[in-house]
Amino acid sequence: GAVVSQHPSWVICKSGTSVKIECRSLDFQATTMFWYRQFPKQSLMLMATSNEGSKATYEQGVEKDKFLINHASLTLSTLTVTSAHPEDSSFYICSSGAGRDTEAFFGQGTRLTVV
Amino acid sequence: LAKTTQPISMDSYEGQEVNITCSHNNIATNDYITWYQQFPSQGPRFIIQGYKTKVTNEVASLFIPADRKSSTLSLPRVSLSDTAVYYCLVGAPSGGYNKLIFGAGTRLAVHP
């Protein structure tokens, strides 16, 4: 199946700093990618839809100025958590379609810990 | 997007067949039913998708009754490695291009 890769797999940062998470489609072009957040023992929560060449669409309750999304190419979308705080500690996951009409392909996720 | 309801958790033993049922009373005519599997600290992985009747692949079967208001994921002869969270989603078949709304999922624990 198609491959979606996230980097880094985990990151620890100090409170108040910014962290960038990359999501790459390795063997296909992704005009649309999705970003999810998952807290321990909870389900995935959709944060935003990332569109290549245009502004991201954020779900209700997600602060667009805090979670900056850039989708500058057909193979890369980035999520930047600005001025991170401990409550932003979570597991962040991206996904995309890959020319097939069945399934979504997910990255391996990024574990963010803000201390 | 149709809401889904699944059991929060299930327990099984190695070698047994596991059936996880999902309710989706408000499924739309064009909606498909898709199941994903998620291991701890990993992104979800597609298992199976169907529209009606029965679908089978190398890892699971999906049973969908005629009214399509529910579906059952069947895992034959589970092993310890099948311990994971299983999500039932209902929506357009082009899952990769549409936003997915995940429910709580079913946490399956397989015991020796």
Find tokens 């701890």 and name the residue.
B40
Query: Are A45 and B42 an interchain contact pair (Cβ–Cβ within 8 Å)?
Result: no
Surface of B (9-68) touching A: CB under 8 A: 34, 36, 41-46, 49
Measure the CA–CA gap between B57 and B37, rounded to whole angstroms. 14
pLDDT at residue B99 tops 90 = no
Residues of chain B in contact with residue A97, where contact means CB-CB under 8 angstroms, are 94-97
pLDDT at residue A75 tops 80 = yes
What confidence score (pLDDT) does residue B2 get? 65
pLDDT at residue B13 tops 90 = yes
| B98-103: long-range pairs with CB below 8 Å, 24+ | B99/A34, B99/A46, B99/A49, B100/A34, B100/A44, B100/A46, B100/A95, B100/A104, B101/A46, B101/B1, B102/A36, B102/A43, B102/A44, B102/A45, B102/A46, B102/B36, B102/B44, B103/A43, B103/B3, B103/B4, B103/B5, B103/B6
Convert the pLDDT of each residue in A38-66 to its tens digit.
Answer: 999 999 999 999 998 889 999 999 999 99
What confidence score (pLDDT) does residue A100 get? 63
Residues of chain B in contact with residue A7, where contact means CB-CB under 8 angstroms, are none
What is the distance in angstroms between the Cα of A110 and the nearest Cα belonging to chain B? 8
What confidence score (pLDDT) does residue A50 get? 93
Mean pLDDT of chain B: 94
Measure the CA–CA gap between A30 and B97, rounded to whole angstroms. 9
What confidence score (pLDDT) does residue A72 get? 84
What confidence score (pLDDT) does residue A101 get? 62
What confidence score (pLDDT) does residue A31 get? 87
Residue of A nearest to B33 (CA): A102
For residues B18-40, b (16+ Cβ closer than 10 Å) or e, as one string? bebbbebeebeeebbbbbbbbee
Q: Which of A27-31, A67-71, A98-102 is the least confident region?
A: A98-102
Average pLDDT over residues B8-24: 98
Surface of B (67-106) touching A: CB under 8 A: 87, 93-97, 99-105
CATH number of B9-111: 2.60.40.10
Kindly write down the DSSP assignment for every residue of A71-98, as one continuous string. Answer: EEETTEEEEEE-S--GGG-EEEEEEE--
Residue A19, SS3 per DSSP: strand
Average pLDDT over residues B26-40: 94
What confidence score (pLDDT) does residue B27 get? 94
Mean pLDDT of chain A: 93
pLDDT at residue B61 tops 80 = yes
- Model confidence band, residue B24 (pLDDT cutoffs 50, 70, 90): very high
Measure the CA–CA gap between A52 and B39, rounded to whole angstroms. 29
Domain boundaries, chain B: 9-111
What is the distance in angstroms between the Cα of B29 and the nearest Cα belonging to chain A? 17
User: B42 vs A2, which has greater pLDDT?
Assistant: B42
What is the distance in angstroms between the Cα of B62 and the nearest Cα belonging to chain A? 15
